[in-house]
């Protein structure tokens, strides 16, 4: 089955700096890569996603890149703000009878004011 | 739309007790999922359903059971609760319209087994 590894497990950055979280996946059939943000005590919520036919996608201060050959994808947050502090999960989804989604183990991002 | 709702928000069980975690979605989604999230860890799939009457095991199904009698409801049953089942449980749903659909999560149920 699919295996998703995520690094680092914790990340501290100064406000205004950039943050990068990296994930690798094992199943070459995976074609959808969502990123979820989970604030303390809250539910995970989708912040950005990318499909396998696209190499990069941006949404304001957030961007995701995908390298299908190397089977890795990354989340980039620029100009970090204290409200970006949360746990971020990457995930990989492969086509099939249902949307089997495998999550990474999460990265706890702390933005220091 | 209320989205995905879960009850209860919190529960403390004694070892050996049983309970049902309720999950309802009002988005007419075919796919529904149950995950558990242990402290500081990621999400592990317990059971999933692709439609009413159809359920299947995920990664960590032992100690749990599910049913899906309607599109809206997907309850999770814990029989003979054990301390290892202390966790936060999230229900989620997604549409079957394409392969690229967001999963919508409920607010979670925090369960402690003592």
Query: pLDDT, tens digit, for every residue of B15-27?
Result: 999 999 999 999 9
Give backbone dihedrals phi and psi of A82, rounded to 5 degrees, phi first: -55, -30
* Residue A43 to residue B105, Cβ atoms within 8 A: yes
Q: Which pLDDT score is estimated for A54?
A: 84
Distances (CA, A) of B84 to A104, B36, B39, B46: 21, 11, 12, 14
Q: What is the mean pLDDT of residues A30-40?
A: 94
Q: Which pLDDT score is estimated for A96?
A: 64
Contact of B5 with chain A, judged by CB distance below 8 Å, is answered with no
Q: Which pLDDT score is estimated for A94?
A: 80
From the list B50, B90, B106, the residue facing A98 with the nearest CB is: B50
Block residue for tokens 């999560």: B105
Q: What is the mean pLDDT of residues A97-110?
A: 86
The token duo for A19 is 């943050």
Q: Which pLDDT score is estimated for A52?
A: 85
Q: What is the mean pLDDT of residues A52-81?
A: 95
Q: Which pLDDT score is estimated for B99?
A: 65
pLDDT greater than 80 at residue B8: yes
Residues B72, B29 contacting (CB under 8 angstroms): no
- Parallel, antiparallel or unpaired: strands B109-113 and B10-13: parallel
Contact of B60 with chain A, judged by CB distance below 8 Å, is answered with no
- Which residues partner with B25 through β-bridges? B4
Q: Which of B21, B2, B3 is nearest to B11 (CA)?
A: B21
Q: Which pLDDT score is estimated for B46?
A: 96
Note the pLDDT tens digit of each residue in B39-93. 878 899 999 999 999 999 998 999 999 999 999 999 999 999 999 999 999 999 9
In 10 A of CB B113, how many CB atoms?
Answer: 19
Q: Which of A67, A69, A107 is nearest to A86 (CA)?
A: A107
Contact of B19 with chain A, judged by CB distance below 8 Å, is answered with no
pLDDT band, very low/low/confident/very high, at A2 (cuts 50, 70, 90): confident
Q: Which pLDDT score is estimated for A77?
A: 98
* Residue A89 to residue B43, Cβ atoms within 8 A: yes
By the 10 Å C-beta count (0-12 exposed, 13-18 middle, 19+ buried), A99 is classed as buried
Residues 92-111 of chain B whose Cβ lies under 8 A from any Cβ of chain A: 94, 96, 99-103, 105-108
């Amino acid at each position: 089955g699919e295996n998703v590894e995520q690094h680092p497990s914790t990340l501290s950055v100064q406000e205004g700096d950039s943050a990068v979280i990296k994930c690798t996946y094992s199943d070459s059939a995976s074609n959808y890569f969502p990123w979820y943000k989970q604030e303390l005590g809250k539910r995970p919520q989708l912040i950005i996603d990318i499909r396998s036919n696209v190499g990069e996608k941006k949404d304001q201060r957030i961007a995701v890149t995908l390298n299908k050959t190397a089977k890795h994808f990354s989340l980039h947050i620029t100009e970090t703000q204290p409200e970006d502090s949360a746990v971020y999960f990457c995930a990989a989804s492969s086509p099939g009878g249902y949307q089997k989604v495998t999550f990474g183990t999460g990265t706890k991002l702390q933005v220091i004011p | 739309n209320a989205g995905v709702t879960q009850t209860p928000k919190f529960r403390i069980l004694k070892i050996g007790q049983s309970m049902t975690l309720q999950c309802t979605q009002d988005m007419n989604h075919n796919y529904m999922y149950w995950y558990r999230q242990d402290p500081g860890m990621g999400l592990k799939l317990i059971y999933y359903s692709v439609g009413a009457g159809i359920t299947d095991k995920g990664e960590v199904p032992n100690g749990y059971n599910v049913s899906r009698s309607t599109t809206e409801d997907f309850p999770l049953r814990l029989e003979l609760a054990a301390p290892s089942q202390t966790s936060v449980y999230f229900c989620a749903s997604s549409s079957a319209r394409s392969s690229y659909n967001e999963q919508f999560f409920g607010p979670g149920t925090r369960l402690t087994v003592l």
